[in-house]
Copies of this chain bind each other. A is one copy, B any other.
Amino acid sequence: MTATTLARKLEILKRIGTATVHEAQGQRGYVDRKIVPLDLRSRMAGTAYTVDGRAGDNLAIHYAISQAAPGDVVVVDYKGYMRAAAIGDLMAFGAKARGLAGIVIDGATRDAAQIVELGFPVFSRGLCITGPTKAQGGQVGVPVTVGGCVIHPGDIVVGDSDGLVVVPAAELDATLRVAEERDTREAGVRDKLAKGATTVDLMKLADKLREVGLT
């Protein structure tokens, strides 16, 4: 798959959004919704560059941002730490300059206003003005657990205001196909709803409603 092809696929996932992608792969890949975008308007899709970090230290995250390829999402298991921000606007600025697609932190960030203004997707558990140390190690390119979900290097990470969903690299095409079908179907449903139909009609729920006594 060429980079262009991948980019096009990611663009589609980004537009379709997390809820539909999650349905499309059989309700798998759910990341705890306590990890949220700094800006609810953020939409992101990219390849995971993973970091098994240390709580309160961001040395390995600096390294990851310098090594990840354009289009990657740096995904950091920061152990849910909230007493010191893993990244701030400088690192987000650098990540954007290098063409990364976004950053996901299982822990705290800072400089929320500047990052929102920058328009770079950052997902985290919340904010903290305290900064981290730059002294400890960590591992990159290993499976990590973020928001209760195991993410492997190369997995596709999709994010928007509803949260995050992870698509295994090998399932990208299958998921994409189902997601697009679902998305197209929903567009058709929307047209009919606009013309006065109800979801009871369009989803053929009348029998079920009768069965449970609602008519």
Contacts and interface: CB of A to CB of B under 8 A. Distances in A.
Interface of A: 17-19, 22-23, 27, 30, 33, 40-41, 43, 54-56, 59-60, 62-63, 65-66, 79-83, 85, 88, 90-91, 93-94, 97-98, 110-114, 116, 126-131, 134-138, 140, 148, 160-163, 165, 186, 189-190, 193-194, 196-201, 203, 205, 208-209, 212-214
A176 to B, nearest CB: 17
A100 to B, nearest CB: 11
A18 to B, nearest CB: 5
B203 A129 contact: no
A127 B56 contact: no
A128 B161 CA distance: 10
A112 B162 CA distance: 6
B212 A136 contact: yes
Contacts of A98: 196, 198
14 contacts: A23-B131, A27-B130, A33-B127, A55-B56, A59-B209, A62-B209, A63-B200, A63-B209, A65-B198, A90-B186, A94-B198, A98-B196, A129-B165, A138-B212
